[in-house]
Chains A and B, each alone.
Chain A
Amino acid sequence: MSEHTLHEPQYALHIEDLTVTYHATPALWDIDVNIPPGVMAAIVGPNGSGKSTLIKTVLGLVRPVAGHIRMFGYPVKAVRRRIGYVPQRSSVDWDFPTTALDVVTMGLYGRIGWLLRPGRAHQAQALAALEQVGMQDYAARQISQLSGGQQQRVFIARALVQDADLYFLDEPMAGVDATTERTIIELLHRLRDAGKTVIVVHHDLTTVQRYFDWLVMLNVRIIAQGSVASTYTADNLRKTYGGQLALIETPLELPPSEAQL
Chain B
Amino acid sequence: MSGLIELLNSSIVQTVALGAAILGIVSGTLGAFAVLRQQSLLGDTLSHAALPGVCLGFLIAGTRDMGSILFGAFVSGALAAVLVLVIVRHTRLKTDAALGIVLSVFFAVGVVLLTLIQGQGGAARLDLATFLFGQAAAILRSDLWIMGGVTLVALALVTALWKEFKLVTFDPDYAYTLGLRVGVLDVLLTVMVALAIVVGLQLVGVVLMVAMLIAPAAAARQWVTSLGGMVLLSAVFGVVAGVGGALISATARGLSTGPVVVLVASALVLVSILLAPGRGLLWQWWFAWRQQQGLQAQRVLLSVHAISLAHDDPAYSAGQGMLDALHHVPTRRALSKLHAQGLIRPVAHAPETTPHWELTPAGHAEAEAVLRRLQREDHR
Interface residues, chain A, with chain B CB atoms under 8 Å away: 23, 56, 59-61, 77, 80-81, 83, 85, 87, 91-93, 96-99, 102-103, 106-107, 109-110, 112, 114-118, 142, 158, 162
Chain A residues with Cβ below 8 Å from B167 are: 106, 109
> Is B83 in the interface zone, CB < 8 Å from A?
no
Chain B residues with Cβ below 8 Å from A109 are: 163-164, 167, 175, 178, 180
Give the residue name and chain of the A residue nearest to B178 (CB).
A110
> Is B85 in the interface zone, CB < 8 Å from A?
no
Give the residue name and chain of the A residue nearest to B36 (CB).
A96
User: Are A97 and B178 within 8 A (Cβ)?
Assistant: no
Q: How many residues of B contact A (CB 8 A)?
A: 28
User: Are B170 and A98 within 8 A (Cβ)?
Assistant: yes
> Is B120 in the interface zone, CB < 8 Å from A?
no
What 6 A-B pairs are tightest by C-beta distance, nearest first? Answer: A110-B178, A80-B179, A85-B177, A92-B171, A59-B177, A96-B170
A142–B160 Cα distance when bound, in Å, is 25
Q: What is the distance, in angstroms, from A160's C-beta to the closest C-beta of chain B?
A: 14
User: Are B229 and A97 within 8 A (Cβ)?
Assistant: yes
Partner of B38, one of A91, A93, A102: A93
Chain B residues with Cβ below 8 Å from A102 are: 226
User: Are B226 and A80 within 8 A (Cβ)?
Assistant: no
Give the residue name and chain of the A residue nearest to B182 (CB).
A61
A115–B163 Cα distance when bound, in Å, is 8
> Is B11 in the interface zone, CB < 8 Å from A?
no
Q: What is the distance, in angstroms, from A23's C-beta to the closest C-beta of chain B?
A: 7
B201-240: contact bitstring with A at CB < 8 Å (1 yes, 0 no)?
A: 0000000000000000000010011110110000000000
A85–B224 Cα distance when bound, in Å, is 29
> Is B176 in the interface zone, CB < 8 Å from A?
yes
Known contacts A97-B221, A99-B225, A142-B225: A106-B164 contact under CB 8 Å: no
Chain A residues with Cβ below 8 Å from B162 are: 117
Which of A60, A61, A99, A112 is the most central at the interface, judged by chain B CB atoms within 10 Å of its CB? A61
Q: What is the distance, in angstroms, from A110's C-beta to the closest C-beta of chain B?
A: 3
Supply 4 further A-B pairs (C-beta < 8 A) apart from A23-B92, A93-B170, A97-B227. A61-B173, A97-B226, A98-B227, A102-B226
Q: What is the distance, in angstroms, from A119's C-beta to the closest C-beta of chain B?
A: 12
Chain A residues with Cβ below 8 Å from B178 are: 80, 107, 109-110, 162
7 contacts between A and B (CB under 8 A): A59-B176, A85-B177, A93-B38, A97-B221, A97-B229, A98-B225, A114-B164
User: Are B177 and A60 within 8 A (Cβ)?
Assistant: yes
Interface residues, chain B, with chain A CB atoms under 8 Å away: 36, 38, 92, 160-164, 166-167, 169-171, 173-180, 221, 224-227, 229-230
Q: What is the distance, in angstroms, from B159's C-beta to the closest C-beta of chain A?
A: 9
**Which DSSP category, helix, strand, loop or mixed, fits chain B's interface?**
helix
A103–B175 Cα distance when bound, in Å, is 12
A114–B157 Cα distance when bound, in Å, is 12
A172–B221 Cα distance when bound, in Å, is 29
Q: What is the distance, in angstroms, from B222's C-beta to the closest C-beta of chain A?
A: 10
Chain A residues with Cβ below 8 Å from B180 are: 109-110
User: Are B224 and A97 within 8 A (Cβ)?
Assistant: yes
A178–B229 Cα distance when bound, in Å, is 36
Give the residue name and chain of the B residue nearest to A102 (CB).
B226
Q: What is the distance, in angstroms, from B85's C-beta to the closest C-beta of chain A?
A: 16
A110–B181 Cα distance when bound, in Å, is 10
Chain B residues with Cβ below 8 Å from A110 are: 178-180
User: Are A87 and B170 within 8 A (Cβ)?
Assistant: no
Q: What is the distance, in angstroms, from B160's C-beta to the closest C-beta of chain A?
A: 5
Q: What is the distance, in angstroms, from B73's C-beta to the closest C-beta of chain A?
A: 30
Chain A residues with Cβ below 8 Å from B221 are: 97
Which of A56, A83, A98, A112 is the most central at the interface, judged by chain B CB atoms within 10 Å of its CB? A98
User: Are A80 and B230 within 8 A (Cβ)?
Assistant: no
A178–B134 Cα distance when bound, in Å, is 58
Partner of A99, one of B160, B169, B176, B226: B226
User: Are B179 and A103 within 8 A (Cβ)?
Assistant: no
Chain A residues with Cβ below 8 Å from B179 are: 77, 80-81, 110
Chain B residues with Cβ below 8 Å from A87 are: 171, 173-174
Chain A residues with Cβ below 8 Å from B226 are: 97-99, 102
A112–B180 Cα distance when bound, in Å, is 11
